[in-house]
Chain A
Amino acid sequence: MNPDFLAWIILFLPLVAAGLITLYFLPQRKVSAGLSTGAVIIGFVLSVIFVSWAGWQPAIRESAATWLAVGPLHVAFGLRFDPLSLLMILVVTGVASAIHVYSWGYMHEDPGFSRFFACLSLFTFSMLGIVLANNFIELFIFWELVGVSSYLLISFWHERPSAADAGKKAFLANRLGDFGFLLGILIVWSSLGSLNFGVLQDRLSAHAGALGSLATIAGLLIFCGAMGKSAQFPLHVWLPDAMEGPTPVSALIHAATMVAAGVYMLCRVSFLLDASALEVIGWVGGFTALLSAVIAVQQDDIKRILAYSTLSQLGYMMMAVGLGGDSQAMFHLSTHAFFKALLFLGSGSVILALHHEQNIWKMGGLRRQMPVTFWTFLAATFALSGVPPFSGFYSKDSIFAQATARHSYGLLVLGLAVAVLTAFYMFRLVFVVFLGSSRSPACDHAQESPPVVLWPLRLLAVFSIIGGYIGIEQVYEKQFGAAGAGHPLWQQLLAPFREAPIGAVLGILAAVLGFAGAYKLYSNVAKDPLPDKLGALSRAMANRFYFDELYQATVIRLHDALASIADWIDRWIIDGFCVGLARGGTDLTGRALRLLQTGNLQTYAFLFALGAALVLYLVLGK
């Protein structure tokens, strides 16, 4: 039997769940949550079965149904199975399962409980669609669906103006990127005549210069899409605001899956990107990584710190793509999915315990009250900072190794600087929140979260620790060529030191440096010492380098000006003149036609005969 049908089930299960919940089970909270969670857990189990059944074949297989065939136009709706998509469905369904379970505890009090799960399921469906799509159109449709469902989730608490605004901002920034993406798709279509990834790859490998002079532009336009979704500079502004959404959403969408879609998409179509496009991608990634790491150092909101850290890590992945290291980018994406989801869920656990307090300077000493949260959070912090043998070390190191191999020392230095900053702000977070002494009465009465919240933390912690040496990278290498032979576990543990010792050592050094800095400054302090030391710079960092204000002053001001011009044109020229004319015309026509439609039978019969005569005249009267 062909196992491919399993993939179709995996894809559509969450959609079915979302539909059922919306149509029938909105009032029944337990049923909705059960359906949604069940769908994604079954999806995960089926994914495991499917992968072990189909295996990690490097050969590319597809399962397609003709969606539309009219004459020469032939559009297929297909799924593509290769190591890249197979591993991603495991990651997506795996992380999503943990987050669904967690949400059950986290959202328990919320009146929109069922709606939340319906949106989550819709999101899971869209994300799986992106991962499995075998052509650009399909990818784009799911891409937009992800945008819509993330909009729904970010502005989930839509009665809060800030949440509604954040949702709008995310949606618009994404749309901006998607516009470029669509243009890129159209260029590819018009010059290569197909949108199927496999066909495109074949055509490009047959004629390397098939895209001609448009290659760079097409590549950059496609990157625009990734820039919006993965929140790269200068479209990065939406992601921190998106933290207005419920914390499980931040974990699922803005850490593990949706923002990773941009990176995933670039890896999927990496054969389309030429050298100059890659160069741009690499530097944009590197710059974003640095910029957001610097900003993260001076944030006080626990979720915002994590948001900027996410931006910075996405920058790493983009950098890796730009360095031609697709498998390294995907490797970091996968490990990051685990430990960043864990960080968000851990922060959610803290926020829940402190009754929705998010300012880290009102926390402190939570290690005692919340041991499980603390230890898992710490594991994730180690992973993120790149401490061996935690997973982040291996994936980050592979990126450094790639930079060294490509002799791209500029990016290597950038990456190391970011690594120092990463360790610094993460340990700052740990010191302030979990260690030291309590800064508010709420901390003293904090209680550990319920098991339904803790178990996902434990599960993710396991993966955050071991994710670096269970063969994830080898699977991606099968996809992108240069497959290394499988090594026993202990060899993989030490692989970085054997294969790229410089990168590994520098990476560890960076982490240690960051830790030392954080220890010196933040161990047992009542308030942040940095603002005094850095002065204006610190204010700029805390205010995110005034990007929002900058956009407000330039883009949005310009936009407002354009809008008011458009409004003026609309009001006076279009509305007054054109619409007036059209309305007058339509009105007049309407009146004239109403004169015909008298209701009088004789008139009707007369008009009928007149019509017949008219038709005769048209044909015979010439």
Chain B
Amino acid sequence: MNIALLSHEWLVLLLGLGLLLADLWLPPAARRKLGYVAALGVAAILLYSILFVRLPAGGVEYAFGRMYILDSLALFFKRFFLLAALAVLLMSVEFAAEIQSGLTEYYALTLFALAGMLFACSANDFTLLFVSLELITISFYILTSFQRARTLSLEAGVKYLIIGALSTSFTVFGIALVYGTSGKLNFQDLAAVAPQLIGNKLFLFGLLWVMVGLGFKIAAFPFQIWAPDVYQGAPSPTTAFLAIGSKAAGFALVLRVLFTAVPAITAQWSHLLIVISAVTILYGNLCALPQRNVKRLLGYSSIAHAGYMLLGVAALSAAGQSAILYYLSGYLFTVLAAFTVICLVMRHAEGEDISRLAGLNQRSPLLAAAMALAMVSLAGVPPMAGFFGKFLLFKAALAQGATQHGYYWLVGIAILGVVISLYYYFGVIRAIYWPGNAPDPSPIPVSRPILLSIYACVAGMFFLGLYPNPVVTLTSKAASALQAETAAIHATATLPKAPRAAWTRSLLGPASAAPSRP
């Protein structure tokens, strides 16, 4: 039991609670600055993580009866989430004027969602998976409907709540079925018994419903339906955090479940994964075409990007998993840059129509350039990060083409998706640079921290696009953690079992369905 292992999570939670307490004594005027405190805190934790957190020689450490895992994958995601939260918090400070009250709570809830993500990427057990997922989701329900004065925000909150609750019920039902049929909750224990359960339809049923819940998180078809409405309605920093944090957490769990818990079964699902990936790409890109609202457009585009990343899942290889991590890294900088610009340009405007970007080049060349570069990167044009991510994903899928020709079709469809997406991404760029009369020609003030954040994002996009090797090394190391753990299971089928009394089985009866959420 090594509490120090959980240092990231404790520190973030302490920071969040500390903010709530500080709010009690601070005058209302000073509360906006608390966002900087939160951002500084997150930056400090990130720094601590990079400087002091080291994995042991084996590369993996467990805590609490192997319920919690710290390996290179978890560490990669933890730093990823911290970085994302840092930028989102800075963005929130800029957005503060739009939030009438409860500003400190907004920061604190962002930190709680962050804590949920930190837990999620270390989940090695369905119990922890479920509660961390719920912590993320519940925090986001509130973050989404934070602008009570805006009907859109409220509507988005309600939609997210209901569809989220529905997906949770699927997840918990699925977990119950998995547990009922296998008697295991721990991923490694499950991996040891899963090969015997390949023919058990009830077990597969349970797994699939767990995946439904995760599919909701990453907004994959056919569980993507909420994304555009919620992206559009939520406050911009929340949308950014949803697009990056929540999605990445979903992918972290998808990778863990598919490749650590049930690799034997995943290997048989290539067909399903190919279909879902292809349809998600097409759906996202086709629907984005007619959109005029930038945030809604990015909502659809985020569906398409989930589809691209599923390509890496479908590839069922270490290269594919590593490519997902690389793609996510590029996506992090790109989406943060885009939303930071949207947040700054549109904070006083109702309705984020593309036409509001007109003349941005005159108002703030820096923001215009950042937005244009982000769009170029999202479209996957070299030399930006998005190009390299897609390259790695496609390469991983093509490498599997020999085993199944579906992969060739999948890559073909993905390329088609890229071509379609060029149209709407460049529509945004055209809006920025087309000499038109700006609706509001005044220059846009950019504060110093936000300036730093934008520079960092642009630098990140360029770095990942121009010099991929350091990050490729990092991601393939992180992805190899998945493989190593799987290999360890196959090598020693008899793992030391976690103490679990027989009574746990009797709680629910061998196969009875668990009560779903009220």
Physical contact A–B (CB less than 8 Å): yes
**Interface of A with B (CB < 8 Å)?**
65-71, 73, 77, 586, 589-590, 593-594, 596-597, 599, 601, 604-605, 607-612, 614-616, 618-620
- Out of A65, A586, A605, A618, which one reaches B286, CB within 8 Å? A586
Contact B208 A615 (CB under 8 A): yes
Given contacts A67-B469, A589-B286, contact A610 B272 (CB under 8 A): no
Contact A608 B223 (CB under 8 A): yes
Contact A620 B201 (CB under 8 A): yes
Contact A69 B473 (CB under 8 A): yes
Given contacts A590-B286, A593-B287, A619-B272, contact A601 B222 (CB under 8 A): no
Within 8 A of A (CB), among B244-297: 269, 271-272, 275-276, 283, 286-287, 289-290
Query: Which chain A residue has the least Cβ–Cβ distance from B202?
Result: A620
- Out of B209, B287, B392, which one reaches A597, CB within 8 Å? B287
Given contacts A70-B392, A605-B163, A605-B166, contact A596 B225 (CB under 8 A): yes
Q: Is B347's CB within 8 Å of the partner chain A?
A: no
Chain B residues lying within 8 Å of A586, measured Cβ to Cβ, are 286, 289
Contact A604 B225 (CB under 8 A): yes
Chain B residues lying within 8 Å of A68, measured Cβ to Cβ, are 468-469, 472
Contact A612 B269 (CB under 8 A): no
- Out of B159, B283, B392, which one reaches A604, CB within 8 Å? B159
List 11 additional contacts besides A71-B399, A586-B286; criterion CB under 8 Å: A68-B469, A69-B469, A70-B476, A590-B287, A593-B286, A604-B159, A611-B212, A611-B222, A615-B211, A616-B205, A620-B205
Q: Is B237's CB within 8 Å of the partner chain A?
A: no
Chain A residues lying within 8 Å of B212, measured Cβ to Cβ, are 611-612, 615
Chain A residues lying within 8 Å of B216, measured Cβ to Cβ, are 608
Q: Is B221's CB within 8 Å of the partner chain A?
A: yes
Q: How far is the CB of B187 from chain A (nearest CB, A)?
A: 20
Q: Is B226's CB within 8 Å of the partner chain A?
A: yes
Q: Is B13's CB within 8 Å of the partner chain A?
A: no
Chain A residues lying within 8 Å of B468, measured Cβ to Cβ, are 67-68
Chain A residues lying within 8 Å of B286, measured Cβ to Cβ, are 586, 589-590, 593
Cα–Cα, bound, A619→B206 (Å) = 12
Contact B208 A616 (CB under 8 A): yes
Q: How far is the CB of B464 from chain A (nearest CB, A)?
A: 11
Q: How far is the CB of A143 from chain B (nearest CB, A)?
A: 16
Cα–Cα, bound, A619→B274 (Å) = 12
Q: Is B395's CB within 8 Å of the partner chain A?
A: yes
Query: Which chain B residue has the least Cβ–Cβ distance from A590?
Result: B290
Contact B223 A601 (CB under 8 A): no
Cα–Cα, bound, A70→B468 (Å) = 10
Chain B residues lying within 8 Å of A601, measured Cβ to Cβ, are 158-159, 162-163
Cα–Cα, bound, A620→B286 (Å) = 29
Query: Which chain B residue has the least Cβ–Cβ distance from A609?
Result: B166
Chain B residues lying within 8 Å of A71, measured Cβ to Cβ, are 319, 399
Q: List 21 A-B contacts (CB under 8 A).
A: A67-B468, A69-B472, A70-B392, A71-B399, A77-B467, A586-B286, A589-B286, A590-B286, A590-B289, A601-B162, A604-B163, A607-B222, A608-B166, A608-B222, A608-B225, A615-B276, A616-B205, A616-B208, A618-B271, A618-B275, A619-B269
Query: Which chain B residue has the least Cβ–Cβ distance from A616?
Result: B208
Q: Is B81's CB within 8 Å of the partner chain A?
A: no
Q: How far is the CB of B371 from chain A (nearest CB, A)?
A: 16
Contact A607 B208 (CB under 8 A): no
Contact A619 B222 (CB under 8 A): no
Q: How far is the CB of A373 from chain B (nearest CB, A)?
A: 42
Contact A70 B472 (CB under 8 A): yes
Chain B residues lying within 8 Å of A66, measured Cβ to Cβ, are 469
Contact B223 A611 (CB under 8 A): yes
Contact A615 B225 (CB under 8 A): no
Q: Is B144's CB within 8 Å of the partner chain A?
A: no
Given contacts A609-B166, A619-B269, contact A614 B283 (CB under 8 A): no
Q: How large is the interface on B (under 10, 10 to 19, 20 to 34, 35 or more residues)?
A: 35 or more
Cα–Cα, bound, A478→B211 (Å) = 66
Q: How far is the CB of B190 from chain A (nearest CB, A)?
A: 18
Chain B residues lying within 8 Å of A589, measured Cβ to Cβ, are 286
Chain A residues lying within 8 Å of B223, measured Cβ to Cβ, are 608, 611-612
Q: Is B228's CB within 8 Å of the partner chain A?
A: yes
Q: How far is the CB of A500 from chain B (nearest CB, A)?
A: 49
Contact B226 A604 (CB under 8 A): yes
Contact B319 A618 (CB under 8 A): no
Contact A618 B272 (CB under 8 A): yes
Within 8 A of A (CB), among B284-333: 286-287, 289-290, 319
Query: Which chain A residue has the least Cβ–Cβ distance from B212?
Result: A612
Q: Is B387's CB within 8 Å of the partner chain A?
A: no
Chain A residues lying within 8 Å of B450, measured Cβ to Cβ, are none
Q: Is B182's CB within 8 Å of the partner chain A?
A: no
Contact B167 A608 (CB under 8 A): yes
Within 8 A of A (CB), among B146-174: 158-159, 162-163, 166-167, 170
Contact B289 A610 (CB under 8 A): no
Chain B residues lying within 8 Å of A614, measured Cβ to Cβ, are 222
Cα–Cα, bound, A616→B289 (Å) = 30
Contact B319 A607 (CB under 8 A): no
Cα–Cα, bound, A608→B159 (Å) = 12
- Out of A69, A70, A596, which one reaches B395, CB within 8 Å? A70
Cα–Cα, bound, A620→B170 (Å) = 17
Q: How far is the CB of B452 from chain A (nearest CB, A)?
A: 15
Chain B residues lying within 8 Å of A65, measured Cβ to Cβ, are 469
**Nearest 7 pairs of A and B residues by beta carbon:** A611-B222, A612-B212, A604-B225, A66-B469, A68-B468, A593-B287, A618-B272
| Per-residue A-contact encoding for B226-240, CB less than 8 Å = 1, 0 else | 101100000000000
Q: Is B204's CB within 8 Å of the partner chain A?
A: yes
Cα–Cα, bound, A586→B416 (Å) = 13
Q: How far is the CB of B194 from chain A (nearest CB, A)?
A: 15
Given contacts A67-B468, A611-B221, A618-B272, contact A599 B162 (CB under 8 A): no
Chain A residues lying within 8 Å of B290, measured Cβ to Cβ, are 590, 594
Cα–Cα, bound, A620→B201 (Å) = 7
Contact B469 A615 (CB under 8 A): no
Within 8 A of A (CB), among B375-433: 392, 395, 399
Within 8 A of A (CB), among B30-71: none
Cα–Cα, bound, A594→B464 (Å) = 36
Query: Which chain B residue has the least Cβ–Cβ distance from A65?
Result: B469
Within 8 A of A (CB), among B85-144: none
Cα–Cα, bound, A607→B159 (Å) = 13
Q: How far is the CB of A227 from chain B (nearest CB, A)?
A: 27
Cα–Cα, bound, A69→B201 (Å) = 41
Q: How far is the CB of B111 from chain A (nearest CB, A)?
A: 29
Given contacts A69-B469, A599-B229, A615-B211, contact A608 B163 (CB under 8 A): yes
Cα–Cα, bound, A69→B271 (Å) = 29
Chain A residues lying within 8 Å of B469, measured Cβ to Cβ, are 65-69
Cα–Cα, bound, A182→B215 (Å) = 43
Query: Which chain B residue has the least Cβ–Cβ distance from A585?
Result: B286
The winner among A68, A77, A619 for most chain B CB atoms within 10 A is: A619
Q: How far is the CB of B416 from chain A (nearest CB, A)?
A: 10
Contact B162 A612 (CB under 8 A): no
Chain A residues lying within 8 Å of B167, measured Cβ to Cβ, are 608
Chain A residues lying within 8 Å of B289, measured Cβ to Cβ, are 586, 590
Chain B residues lying within 8 Å of A619, measured Cβ to Cβ, are 204, 208, 269, 272
Query: Which chain A residue has the least Cβ–Cβ distance from B275?
Result: A618
Chain B residues lying within 8 Å of A616, measured Cβ to Cβ, are 205, 208
Chain A residues lying within 8 Å of B159, measured Cβ to Cβ, are 601, 604
Cα–Cα, bound, A66→B166 (Å) = 48
Cα–Cα, bound, A614→B209 (Å) = 11
Q: How far is the CB of A164 from chain B (nearest CB, A)?
A: 19
Cα–Cα, bound, A399→B216 (Å) = 73
